[in-house]
């Protein structure tokens, strides 16, 4: 393996790691959402700090998201130091993503015994930050979930006795309490551990089952059964669709096609050299990470963030493939991985947001002065309103203006996605009636979410837009669904 390829891999990895650290801190103090659902997570944290439960009967005032609560509680703890708002949410995600980077480095270095493969793995993972539209530091659950997940896998990989298997199970329960996807990964992780040490795999599985049962029972008792309703019953009623499966291979993963070649080579080479047991063991956890991302992507509403476990698996394999190629004198594999690190500079988009191939522009993920000014102008408009205000998809904005907030309409859409027709009709009727009864002085709607237009009953007039139509990107969140609250409607007395 030539020094030139090693130097190129180290340099490119360092660049991606630096970029994946600079962008999160550059927007850490941005006072508005960087992802369109993030404001409701701030609402959840505020609710915790007020001493209220998260999982309660749905109403027009509050409906929780269909996530388990650990991320919100962690952010609430951070907010005791930082204050409320988006800072504690993003800081929690940033710290978790840094922990993931450290755990990834340690995992690959322990496996390979050298620094370069670990750095390559971290470089690939950092480049994937842009592949998922910079989701690592968003005010969402994913980064904390991945840190706990990788912590559990690392302990299972360490072969340090039964105690570490129990701790790995505890970490996986905590991962489940952050995001339910962890449940899909317990079986493949148990298989991985069992192939290497059958008793250890059994201890891990039994410990997880016992701890998971205790945790869910405890949460249900605390929340009168609503915990399981929101985190299990409702998600299970949402549909799975097939097109995202095809889109994954055709669109979502095309930035990783060189690495896919290296992955196939890695497992094939281990099988050829008689390491079928090791290949099968690693194939269990890697396949689990792949399938967890695919299954989540096929779930209605699954955005690019759900592929983060899959890309983490590819990052680990990148480091292992580098070392395997070095040991076998396979310069071609090193060239493929260097090409992969360079290939990340091309932006292809994804099945959610198709785009023509072009060079990555890091600046598009950084909120501008115009974004901040538009948000501050909107908060001032809400503050100056004579009475109540309503911003259906961004209830945090009225709270910033010192007004009464409200349920995030996405949570209502989650309720509507269930097959409990009676509950759906009751909650939606209550929401419409409550919204209209407010006689809000000012209603602010998103320009491309017309379903909320039903709120505009006779007695309101369109007052204008927050920003001119020509400013198509101003106050648009850089992550996720491209939508923004800019349509202003004023009550006519």
Task: Please indicate whether residue 341 or residue 417 has the higher confidence score (pLDDT).
Answer: 341
Return the SS3 of 492: coil
491, β-bridge pairs: 460
pLDDT tens per residue, range 96-149: 999 999 999 999 999 999 999 999 999 999 999 999 999 999 999 999 999 999
Displacement of CA 366 from its chain's centroid (Å): 18
If we measure between CA atoms, which residue out of 152, 225, 137, 218 comes closest to residue 185?
152
Average pLDDT (78-105) is 97
CB atoms within 10 A of CB 278: 15
Average pLDDT (241-259) is 88
Structure tokens at 16: 């991606």
Torsion (CA) 318, 323, 329, 335 in degrees, nearest 10: 30
If we measure between CA atoms, which residue out of 443, 429, 445 comes closest to residue 484?
445
Compute the distance between CA of residue 57 and CA of residue 430 in angstroms, rounded to an integer. 13
What pLDDT is attached to residue 419? 61
What pLDDT is attached to residue 350? 77
446, β-bridge pairs: 485
Using only C-alpha atoms, what is the Rg of the chain? Answer: 24
User: Has this prediction a pTM greater than 0.85?
Assistant: yes
Pairing type for strands 442-446 and 389-390 reads parallel
If we measure between CA atoms, which residue out of 28, 154, 155, 159 comes closest to residue 92?
28
Compute the distance between CA of residue 37 and CA of residue 473 in angstroms, rounded to an integer. 18
Average pLDDT (413-428) is 70
Task: Please indicate whether residue 151 or residue 449 has the higher confidence score (pLDDT).
Answer: 151
Instruction: Say which range, 165-169, 250-254, 455-459, 483-487, has the weakest mean pLDDT.
Output: 455-459
Compute the distance between CA of residue 455 and CA of residue 460 in angstroms, rounded to an integer. 10
- Residue that has been written with the tokens 């259906």 in this structure: 392
Compute the distance between CA of residue 200 and CA of residue 162 in angstroms, rounded to an integer. 6
- Residue that has been written with the tokens 């309409």 in this structure: 409
Average pLDDT (50-71) is 89
**Are 295 and 310 contacting, i.e. CB atoms less than 8 angstroms apart?**
no
If we measure between CA atoms, which residue out of 41, 59, 38 comes closest to residue 49?
41
If we measure between CA atoms, which residue out of 71, 48, 180, 65 comes closest to residue 412?
65
DSSP state of 178: T
CB within 8 A of 217, min separation 6: which ones?
Answer: none
Compute the distance between CA of residue 207 and CA of residue 186 in angstroms, rounded to an integer. 11
- DSSP H/E element including 465: strand 460-465
DSSP state of 306: G
DSSP state of 479: B
State how far the alpha carbon of 59 is from the alpha carbons of 47, 234, 425, in Å.
15, 16, 11
What is the band of 190 on the pLDDT scale with cuts at 50, 70, 90?
Answer: very high
Compute the distance between CA of residue 217 and CA of residue 370 in angstroms, rounded to an integer. 48
Compute the distance between CA of residue 466 and CA of residue 464 in angstroms, rounded to an integer. 7
What is the band of 460 on the pLDDT scale with cuts at 50, 70, 90?
Answer: confident
What pLDDT is attached to residue 23? 97
Return the SS3 of 409: helix
What pLDDT is attached to residue 59? 75
CB within 8 A of 403, min separation 6: which ones?
Answer: 382, 383, 385, 388, 389
What pLDDT is attached to residue 218? 97
pLDDT beyond 80 at 72: yes
Structure tokens at 157: 């990989």
Mean pLDDT of the chain: 91
Compute the distance between CA of residue 382 and CA of residue 395 in angstroms, rounded to an integer. 11
What does the domain layout of the chain look like in residue ranges? Answer: 3-357, 368-491
Residues shown for the chain: 493
Q: Cα dihedral sign for 371, 375, 376, 377? A: positive
If we measure between CA atoms, which residue out of 102, 108, 54, 49 comes closest to residue 79?
49
| Beta strand spans in 281-431 (E) | 346-349, 354-359, 389-390
Return the SS3 of 460: strand
């Amino acid at each position: 393996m030539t020094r030139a390829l090693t130097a190129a891999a180290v340099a490119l990895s360092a660049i991606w790691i630096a970029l994946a650290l600079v962008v999160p801190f550059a927007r850490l103090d941005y006072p508005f959402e960087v992802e369109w659902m993030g404001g409701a997570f701030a609402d959840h944290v505020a609710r915790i700090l007020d001493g209220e439960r998260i999982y309660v009967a749905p109403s027009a005032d509050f409906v929780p998201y269909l996530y388990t609560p650990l991320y919100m509680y962690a952010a609430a703890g951070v907010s005791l130091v930082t204050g409320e708002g988006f800072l504690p949410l993003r800081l929690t995600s940033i710290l978790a993503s840094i922990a993931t980077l450290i755990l990834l480095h340690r995992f690959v270095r322990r496996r390979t015994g050298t620094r370069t493969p670990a750095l390559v793995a971290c470089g690939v993972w950092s480049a994937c930050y842009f592949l998922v539209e910079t989701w690592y530091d968003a005010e969402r659950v994913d980064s904390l979930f991945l840190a706990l997940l990788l912590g559990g896998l690392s302990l299972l990989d360490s072969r340090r006795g039964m105690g570490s298997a129990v701790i790995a199970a505890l970490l996986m329960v905590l991962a489940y309490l952050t995001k339910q996807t962890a449940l899909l990964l317990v079986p493949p992780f148990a298989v991985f551990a069992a192939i290497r040490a059958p008793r250890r795999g059994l201890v891990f599985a039994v410990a997880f089952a016992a701890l998971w049962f205790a945790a869910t029972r405890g949460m249900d008792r605390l929340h009168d059964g609503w915990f399981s309703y929101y985190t299990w019953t409702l998600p299970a009623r949402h549909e799975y669709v097939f097109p995202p499966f095809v889109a994954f291979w055709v669109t979502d993963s095309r930035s990783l096609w060189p690495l896919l070649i290296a992955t196939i080579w890695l497992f094939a080479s281990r099988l050829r050299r008689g390491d079928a047991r090791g290949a099968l063991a690693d194939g269990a956890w890697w396949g689990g990470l792949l399938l967890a991302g695919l299954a989540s992507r096929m779930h209605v509403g699954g955005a690019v963030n759900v592929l983060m476990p899959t890309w983490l698996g590819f990052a680990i394999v990148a480091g292992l493939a580098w070392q395997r190629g070095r040991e076998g004198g396979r310069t071609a594999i090193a060239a493929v991985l260097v090409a992969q690190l360079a290939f990340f500079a091309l932006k292809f988009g994804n099945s959610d947001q198709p785009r023509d191939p072009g060079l990555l522009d890091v600046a598009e993920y950084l909120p501008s002065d115009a974004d901040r000014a538009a948000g501050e102008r909107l908060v001032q408009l809400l503050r100056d309103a004579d009475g109540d205000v309503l911003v259906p998809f961004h209830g945090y904005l009225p709270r910033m203006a010192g007004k009464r907030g409200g349920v995030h309409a996405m949570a209502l859409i989650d309720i509507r996605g269930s097959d409990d027709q009676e509950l759906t009709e009751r909650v939606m009727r209550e929401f419409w009636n409550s919204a209209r009864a407010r006689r809000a002085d000012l209603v602010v709607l998103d320009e491309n979410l017309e379903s909320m237009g039903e709120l505009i009953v006779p007695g309101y007039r369109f007052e204008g837009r927050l920003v001119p139509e020509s400013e198509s990107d101003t106050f648009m969140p850089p992550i996720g669904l491209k939508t923004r609250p800019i349509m202003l409607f004023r009550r006519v007395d």
